[in-house]
A and B are shown apart, each in its own frame.
Chain A
């Protein structure tokens, strides 16, 4: 591919700094006609021409996306967004006009739009990192202090209330099973549990059982 924009070597030697555009941008001048022809065919429904066009313009679109995004996933999303936009408004291209300005305008609009959106999102959201969590594993966050306090409080309850809570809440027995095991009526067990829970609230909140 002829690189018409590259300065001759003898000129380059005389300068301290030579600005050379990235290769992908240099490439855009040469396939101008080809891209235009490919797009015109794509507008007529030619699938292979459309596939060839999208494959060829992808590196150019990527070079525009890379100017605004650093993270590879963001670049990928921006490239795909541009390709989808091209697909949805492909009828707005006039084959009598050059293709690259049309493509560059769409790519710049979409990339800048995404960048604005990302900046707004970053201004109001904080991304959580692993340091923000006390531990990634759930059981490591369970220190057992609350559990010990509850067991001690149950021990302080009057015997009938303590037995009712152990059977119905800790051992998860049904009222019938608890009634059979303790020899007490279902109603009595319900009352005992209700009082036990009220007492536990007081004990854990600070105070003595009644």
Chain B
């Protein structure tokens, strides 16, 4: 096909489209959705019984604050990166929060390991943790894939990676508020392990999923 023919056919097929809102607005919408998921899970399962006591511990508060900051910054970075003209350096935005988050987990492991040891891995709690993990990460990943599908043709890997970090951090935040971790090994598995798995899966599968979603979900028509 000649380029002039392509231009003709594109011009003939053009339909009105709804413009994307600014990236911080879209990131806020996604974070509100995450808040709704957390609220539903808290209603269904209840928050962890020792939450008020834990919230008085500086280490716990720093940890969850860093997790939440990672989620917010990574979401903002991925919505920003999905726009063609944005600089790729936006991917570094969540880095400070990520480093605080990982260092609090590391510090917790280092101080608690001797005190508690690796005992106390309870399978019942682990199964519930897994259910929370899926109920949080799957809908939020799908929402992010749909909201960022326009990145499929531009920089899918970078957008998937930052989006994966956002989902991983939110999941970790929800797990920390809902489930009680008694042993260091649980903290390691559920915080760092799941976060790394989600981020790795997003990076590996994200580009393919973006192309798949982008080919099936067209841009929205404007609201009249």
**A-to-B contact residues, CB < 8 Å:** 42-48, 50-51, 54-55, 58, 76, 79-80, 83-85, 87-95, 97, 101-102, 104-106, 109-110
Complex Cα–Cα for A80 and B19 (A): 23
Which residue of B8, B11, B83 contacts A92 across the interface (Cβ within 8 Å)? B83
Complex Cα–Cα for A91 and B214 (A): 13
Q: Which of the four size classes fits the interface of chain B?
A: 20 to 34
Contact B219 A90 (CB under 8 A): yes
**B-to-A contact residues, CB < 8 Å:** 1, 3, 6-8, 10-12, 14-20, 22, 82-85, 150, 153-155, 214, 219-220, 222
Q: Closest residue of chain A to B84, judged by CB?
A: A105
Contact A83 B85 (CB under 8 A): no
- B110 to nearest A CB, angstroms? 43
A92/B14 contact (C-beta < 8 A), A85-B153, A110-B153 known: no
A90/B7 contact (C-beta < 8 A), A102-B84, A102-B85, A109-B84 known: no
- A113 to nearest B CB, angstroms? 8
Q: Closest residue of chain A to B150, judged by CB?
A: A89
Which residue of A54, A88, A91, A93 contacts B18 across the interface (Cβ within 8 Å)? A91
| Those 3 A-B pairs whose CB atoms lie nearest each other, nearest first | A51-B11, A45-B16, A105-B84
- A117 to nearest B CB, angstroms? 13
Pairs across A and B, CB under 8 Å, 5 listed: A43-B19, A48-B11, A54-B7, A80-B1, A88-B150
- A50 to nearest B CB, angstroms? 5
